[in-house]
Structure 1
Amino acid sequence: MTDQPRGNTAEFTVLTTGYTLSTGPGVAATVSYVSDGDRHVIVDPGMVASRDRILGPLAELGLGPDDITDVVLSHHHPDNVLNVGLFGRARVHDHKAEYLDDQWTDRDAEGHEITGSLRLIRTPGHSPEDITLLAGTADGVVAFAGDLWWRPDGPADDPVAPDRDTLRASRLRVLAAADVIVPGHGGPFRAGEGVPL
């Protein structure tokens, strides 16, 4: 079975481009919005300088927090999840379950389809629970890979990764499926040669 989504009807917008200490004054997550049909998804609503950095760009798209149907958490580090509570009506997806209000539904993220164009896969490496959202768009597959890459230049050697070989295997898996990668703390970049492994 291929990792690529079955469909190609998703669209995405980066709401805020994140940074790390080496590229900014602190740490901020790259927060993205993905839509497919009636599903409105926020990926990694983490630390930002102000919640307006998430809600302002979302409002420019004509959407408010209650319009969001799903939130995907690439992993459970605070810098990637801190603002999940902004989206109180959304289903929240992580590596092992889906959460909504007081309901906790166990399910493995591996291969889980939010829609035909939005698929989750397990990509451990930065942490054991990492997942990637693969979005099939008209221009190719976009991978919202969390901190598999912090930014376009890597880092090649993630100082947080517990196992370098697992990180590399997950990076190779994402590169095989995606045309564009949205990292955890930087802007989108093309998948291909020169991407840190």
Structure 2
Amino acid sequence: MTASFHVLTTGYAHDRVAGTVTLLTEGDTLAVVDPGMVADRGLILDPLAERGIDVRQITDVIFSHHHPDHTLNAALFPRARFHDHMAVYRDDIWEDRPADGFALSPSITLMTTPGHTAEDVSTLVRTDQGLVVLTHLWWGEHGPADDPFAPDRAQLRSSREKVLALGPTLIVPGHGAPFAPSGATPV
């Protein structure tokens, strides 16, 4: 069994900013990754409705990190569990757990990848096309090579190398379209 992923909206970071928002599905797991800032909430809600998914069916929301451009629309999903680098949250329950290796389903797991922030989490998704990694280690296909918000450039490089060593087929970056990593991918 493998999971599938669907980019609900592709983000950007220019004079305006929006995060890339993704839907992951496997069995009963329906997860949204980084439901943050977008030009209009319909950019998240309409693609879900087109797939016949009601917001109350979303089981999980994953935050790559806690910047508003990746978290602002979390309340759209009232029945979801929320995941970050250190815990799972639901209603008034806060359950500490390490993110590394935490499985939302057999094919969807979390991995800590500090870089853009010290608390970054990447989502690993085994699909029929291969491994897809959703991460903010890259804003888009071409970087930036030096993330202007990264508190520790060596840590960013180490996490990028860790992700690339997994041999992903695709990377879904924080503010751009999915891309196939290559020798030109900034480390």
TM range, smaller chain: over 0.9
Question: What's the counterpart of residue 49 of structure 2?
Answer: 59
> Percent identity over the alignment?
54
Q: Secondary structure at the match of 1:14?
A: strand
Q: 1:183 is matched with which residue: 151, 154, 173?
A: 173
Task: Work out whether 1:14 is the aligned partner of 2:3.
Answer: no
Report the AA paired with residue 15 of structure 1. Answer: L
Higher relative contact order (CA 8 A, sep 6+): 1
Q: Secondary structure at the match of 2:13?
A: coil
Separation of aligned partners in 2, 1:179 and 1:39: 22
Report the AA paired with residue 171 of structure 1. Answer: R
Q: TM-score, normalised by structure 2?
A: 0.98
Separation of aligned partners in 1, 2:12 and 2:158: 24
Report the AA paired with residue 48 of structure 1. Answer: V
Separation of aligned partners in 2, 1:175 and 1:135: 14
Give the gaps of 5 or more residues in structure 2.
Answer: none
Counterpart mapping for 1:1-197 below 5 A: 9-21=2-14, 25-145=15-135, 147-177=136-166, 178-197=168-187
Separation of aligned partners in 1, 2:129 and 2:27: 17
Could you tell me how far 1:179 is from its partner in structure 2? 1.6
**Deviation >6 Å, runs of 4+:** none
Separation of aligned partners in 2, 1:131 and 1:157: 19
Give the gaps of 5 or more residues in structure 1.
Answer: 1-7
Separation of aligned partners in 1, 2:59 and 2:182: 32
Aligned residues: 186
Q: TM-score, normalised by structure 1?
A: 0.93
Could you tell me how far 1:131 is from its partner in structure 2? 0.4
Separation of aligned partners in 1, 2:150 and 2:83: 22
